[in-house]
Amino acid sequence: MKILNVDQIRSLDQSTIQHEPIAPINLMERAAHTFVEWFVDHFPDTIHTKIFCGLGNNGGDGMAIARLLLEHQYPIEVYVVRYAPRESDDFMHNHRRLKLLLDSIHYIESTADIPAIRHNEVVIDAIFGSGLSRPTEGIVKDTIQAINRAPATVVSVDIASGLYTDQPNEPTDVIIEPDYTLTFQLPKLALVLPKNGPYVGNWHILDIRLHKRFIDQAPTSYYFTQPSEARLLLRKRNRFSNKGTFGHALLLAGSYGKIGAAVLSAKACLRAGVGLLTVQVPQCGYTILQTVVPEAMCSPDRHQNILTGIAPSDQAGHESLDPSDFSAIGIGPGIGKAPETLAMLKGLLPSLKKPIVVDADALNLLAENRELLNHIPPSSILTPHPKEFERLTKKWSNDYQKLDLLREFAKKNKIVVVLKGAFSAIATPDGDIHFNSTGNPGLSTGGTGDVLTGVLTALLAQGYDPVEAAVLGVYAHGLAGDQVASQRGSIGMTASDVIDALRWE
């Protein structure tokens, strides 16, 4: 699904109005209906609801929502924040209609007009939407602060009032902190950025049937992975397949005290459908790996505690490993940053021809030896969390700047970069950014990144295109987390739970 900018969203409105065709006021009515459908479903107990409206079309939505909630017997109070002398046409239309049904509409012109808000109420925030053009000031600011202080549940219409849709806010800006944002038709860039977490809450998309052809043709470099899109990437298995069909992956993982990282990646790699798996671990991990992941072959490093090279240990007659024998290689989970491990990377990277997966300390070694980036095979997948990404690049001053850095880094190095976190951002060598839609805070626990490395290595080994592997793998990893959360809650989720919940259907 595309993420469009404010100008495109405005044109999308116009295009819908022209091509459907539909009168603007009816489009607003449709938006309000869709909102109320969600609201009634979510708050079935006709809870007391205070609706705060601005004077533009977001306020117009609020007026229409108020009327529809009245029809559903909700006890409502409506407050118009009078910050300017002029209202939009569609606001005025809905204002007139509401006045016929409601004894009184309240107007907020000074702080004395701001009502007390109780905990057992819901607030609907319809002050500003995508038309926000400057920081909130004066009475709007006072009202927003009062709403934020109140113990009630807050639901924002389209986007929290005060939050820009696709540009950074200043830290001093006063913005609604909603529990829910119900946004119309398409996700907005502001909704997927970490710093905006408090101004977004749980957000949902409401389909208001805007002009599909316009959306299809609109240029963008931002996408949000939908379930149907992820499912389309999934390859069907041939009835006559054999284990050779699904590739042979090599994982280079683990060091003394971190063999668990190798175990988690290995198990996840198998659960993501790889045909054959070899794991190279330091010798201290050999027995562990052979015991807990019997499906994988294990190649012990010549070193007891760290990885030093993919040449075999000469004892026990192990066969020599040749990187080109593997359909995909994943490097990094738990490997540490010993000089010998760096030497292994330096020796290995220039010899590689196929895309690999690079994670964790392998990324930190790259950050400390940036010339190695030139030897990463094109289309490889790097999976930094924000701290690792900062080490690879530099500090950013806001999330929009971070996205620019991410895009440039992926383009310049011709690689796929998965910047992990809530709504992980996957940058492609072409400069597109795909935000993931699955996952939850339960995944914020040690080992889940190792699981992702195993998953992505397995998908590359099966021949998935690297961008598709990243989009699908990150989606499936998050979905597994969601599955665990729905069964046992998100607190206490473990990386092993996530592996067990991986599904490919």
Ligand X SMILES: NC(=O)C1=CN([C@@H]2O[C@H](COP(=O)(O)OP(=O)(O)OC[C@H]3O[C@@H](n4cnc5c(N)ncnc54)[C@H](OP(=O)(O)O)[C@@H]3O)[C@@H](O)[C@H]2O)[C@@H](O)CC1
Ligand Y SMILES: Nc1ncnc2c1ncn2[C@@H]1O[C@H](COP(=O)(O)OP(=O)(O)O)[C@@H](O)[C@H]1O
Residue count of the chain, please give it.
Answer: 505
Residue 58, marked binder: yes
- Shortest Å distance, C-beta 30 to K ion: 17
Q: x/- site string to ligand Y, residues 360 to 389, per CB under 6 A?
A: -------------------------x----
Residue 423, marked binder: yes
Q: How many residues bind K ion (CB under 5 A)?
A: 6
CA torsion, ordered 288, 289, 290, 291, to nearest 10 deg: 50
Range in contact with K ion (rule: CB under 5 A) among 118-126, 213-221, 450-458, 471-479:
118-126
Range in contact with ligand X (rule: CB under 6 A) among 102-110, 122-130, 229-237, 323-331:
122-130
Q: Among K ion, ligand Y, ligand X, none, what binds residue 424 when CB lies within 5 to 8 Å by partner kind?
A: ligand Y
* Bond into 21 cis (ω within 30): yes
Give dist(CA 79, CA 106) in Å, integer: 5
Residue 112, marked binder: no
Residue 57, marked binder: yes
Range in contact with ligand Y (rule: CB under 6 A) among 95-103, 149-157, 199-207, 435-443:
435-443
Q: In terms of Cα–Cα distance, which of 303, 323, 325 is closest to 315?
A: 303
Give dist(CA 123, CA 148) in Å, integer: 10
DSSP symbol at 319? P
Q: Among ligand Y, K ion, ligand X, none, what binds residue 168 when CB lies within 5 to 8 Å by partner kind?
A: none
Q: Is 181 in the site for K ion (CB under 5 A)?
A: no
HSE-CB of 492 using CA atoms within 13 angstroms: 4
In the 3-class helix/strand/coil scheme, how is 219-259 assigned residue by residue?
CCCEEECCHHHHHHHCCCCCCCCCHHHHCEEEEECCCCCCH
Residue 439, marked binder: no
Nearer to ligand X, 196 or 383 (CB): 196
- Shortest Å distance, C-beta 223 to ligand X: 19
**Which residues fall within 8 angstroms of residue 285, CB to CB, at 6 or more apart?**
254, 259, 262, 298, 300
Q: Are 383 and 456 in contact (CB under 8 A)?
A: yes
Q: Among ligand Y, K ion, ligand X, none, what binds residue 57 when CB lies within 5 to 8 Å by partner kind?
A: ligand X
Q: Among ligand Y, K ion, ligand X, none, what binds residue 125 when CB lies within 5 to 8 Å by partner kind?
A: K ion
Q: Is 157 in the site for ligand X (CB under 6 A)?
A: yes
Give dist(CA 307, CA 252) in Å, integer: 8
Q: Is 129 in the site for ligand X (CB under 6 A)?
A: yes
Q: Among ligand Y, ligand X, K ion, none, what binds residue 156 when CB lies within 5 to 8 Å by partner kind?
A: K ion
Q: In terms of Cα–Cα distance, which of 68, 59, 72 is closest to 29?
A: 68
Residue with tokens 């900062």: 390
Strand partners, 251: 279, 330
Q: Is 475 in the site for ligand X (CB under 6 A)?
A: no
**What is the distance between the terminal CA atoms of the chain, rounded to a whole angstrom?**
20
Give dist(CA 287, CA 382) in Å, integer: 29
Nearer to ligand Y, 187 or 439 (CB): 439
Determine if residue 328 is left, alpha or beta; phi over 0 gives left, psi from -120 to 50 gives alpha, anything else beta.
Answer: beta
Q: Is 149 in the site for ligand X (CB under 6 A)?
A: no
Helix (H) or strand (E) holding 291: helix 286-292
DSSP 385-451: -HHHHHHHS---SSHHHHHHHHHHHHHHHT-EEEE-STT-EEE-TTS-EEE-----GGG-STTHHHH
Q: Among ligand X, ligand Y, K ion, none, what binds residue 422 when CB lies within 5 to 8 Å by partner kind?
A: ligand Y
Nearer to ligand X, 178 or 260 (CB): 178
What's the CA angle centered on 186, arms 181 and 191, to 5 degrees?
Answer: 45
Q: x/- site string to ligand X, residues 14 to 53, per CB under 6 A?
A: -------------xx--x----------------------
Residues 405-424 that bind ligand Y (CB under 6 A): 420-422, 424
Q: Are 136 and 165 in contact (CB under 8 A)?
A: no
Residue 131, marked binder: yes
Q: Among K ion, ligand Y, ligand X, none, what binds residue 27 when CB lies within 5 to 8 Å by partner kind?
A: ligand X
Judged by CB under 6 A, the residue of 29, 87, 301, 450 near ligand Y is: 450
Judged by CB under 6 A, the residue of 3, 4, 13, 423 near ligand X is: 13
Residues 313-332 that bind ligand Y (CB under 6 A): none
Look up residue 473 and give its two tokens: 């793998």
Nearer to ligand X, 81 or 456 (CB): 81
Q: How many residues bind ligand Y (CB under 6 A)?
A: 18
Give dist(CA 333, CA 117) in Å, integer: 50
Q: Is 136 in the site for ligand X (CB under 6 A)?
A: yes
Q: Residues annotated as binding site?
A: 57-61, 125, 129-135, 158, 161, 261, 334, 385, 420-424, 449-450
Contact positions toward ligand X, by CB under 6 A?
9, 13, 27-28, 31, 54, 56-61, 83-84, 88, 128-136, 140, 157-158, 184-185, 210
Please report, as ranges, the residues that interact with ligand Y according to CB under 6 A: 385, 420-422, 424, 439-441, 443-444, 446-450, 452, 477-478
